[in-house]
Amino acid sequence: MEVRVTNLRDQVLEVVRQAMVSGEIRPGDIYSAAALAARLGVSTSPVREAMLTLVNQGLMEPVRNRGFRVVAMSEQDLDEIYELRQLLEVPATLSAAAKASPADLERLSGLAREIEAAAAAGDVPRFLDADRRFHLDLLSLGGNRRLVANIATLRDQTRLYGLEKLAEAGRLTGAADEHRVLLEAIAARDPSRVEDLMRAHLEHTRADWAAG
């Protein structure tokens, strides 16, 4: 893990979130703010602020006098998250897709290329970062910030341990290609196709990607 110097709290939050989702930081282990700060090469304050944000989002829990621990997700938890994402993310994507301009599609195409490049390199953290930015950027076109924030939290609660295995097997490129195909359906103004693609994409996150 590494942190670039900009807004340290936000940078730490993003790095820790990626490490949680990819499984680098796993449920059951306790992480102190001081230890993570030393590992990231920053002061303790922004790390503690980031961890408390994750606590408020239900992703971590404090362990008295010891640090923070990732909230464990059961199979039932993952099923519930998957169902919620189907209920929220599919219609939200359809709404956003209907409002996408050519400029929006061009910007999203750049993110799709980032996803494909990360997949080709087997770089799971970079893949997750670009994938997250792609979908949240797309959803933001719908104009409902609270909806986007709730979907972002649900996405972050999904444990995508299976991505490491897909990357090792060279199969991450197939997942990356889904974003380009989705953009093609949006550009063609084909809502039925967009819906089918999003449902299939979410099925992958629950089945292949969350095999931990």
Judgement on whether residues 133 and 188 belong to the same structural domain of the protein:
yes
Judgement on whether residues 43 and 145 belong to the same structural domain of the protein:
no
What's the first-to-final CA gap in the chain, in angstroms? 21
Judgement on whether residues 55 and 96 belong to the same structural domain of the protein:
no
Distance CA 80, CA 86 (A): 10
Amino acid at residue number 3: V
Residue 138 placed within a domain: yes
Judgement on whether residues 98 and 188 belong to the same structural domain of the protein:
yes
pLDDT of residue 208: 67
Residue 165 placed within a domain: yes
Task: Specify whether the CB–CB gap between 140 and 146 falls below 8 A.
Answer: no
CATH of the domain at 112: 1.20.120.530
Q: Which of 166, 182, 70 is nearest to 123 (CA)?
A: 166
Strand pairing category for 60-63 and 30-31: unpaired
Residue 132 placed within a domain: yes
Buried b (16+ CB within 10 A) or exposed e, 41-72: ebeeebbbebbebbeebebbeeeeeebbbbbe
Residue 1 placed within a domain: no
CATH of the domain at 41: 1.10.10.10
Judgement on whether residues 38 and 92 belong to the same structural domain of the protein:
no
Distance CA 50, CA 11 (A): 9
Judgement on whether residues 38 and 88 belong to the same structural domain of the protein:
no
Judgement on whether residues 62 and 102 belong to the same structural domain of the protein:
no
Residue 3 placed within a domain: no
pLDDT of residue 160: 59
pTM of the model: 0.80
Q: Could you tell me the residue range of the domain that residue 61 belongs to?
A: 8-70
Place of tokens 């797309």: 138
Judgement on whether residues 136 and 93 belong to the same structural domain of the protein:
yes
pLDDT of residue 20: 78
> For residue 23, what is the DSSP state?
T
How would you write the pLDDT of the chain (212 residues) with one tens digit per residue? 554 544 888 889 888 887 876 667 888 889 999 999 999 899 999 999 999 999 988 889 999 989 999 888 788 888 898 999 999 999 999 999 999 999 999 999 999 999 999 999 988 878 888 998 999 999 999 999 999 999 998 887 776 555 667 667 677 888 899 999 999 999 999 999 999 999 999 988 777 665 55
Residue 211 placed within a domain: no
Specify the DSSP element, H or E, that contains 70.
strand 67-70
Q: Which of 39, 33, 34, 74 is nearest to 54 (CA)?
A: 33
Judgement on whether residues 57 and 87 belong to the same structural domain of the protein:
no
Judgement on whether residues 89 and 193 belong to the same structural domain of the protein:
yes
pLDDT of residue 158: 75
Residue 179 placed within a domain: yes
Residue at which a domain ends, from 25, 51, 70: 70
Number of domains making up the chain: 2
Distance CA 86, CA 24 (A): 26
Bridge partners of 70, per DSSP, are 60
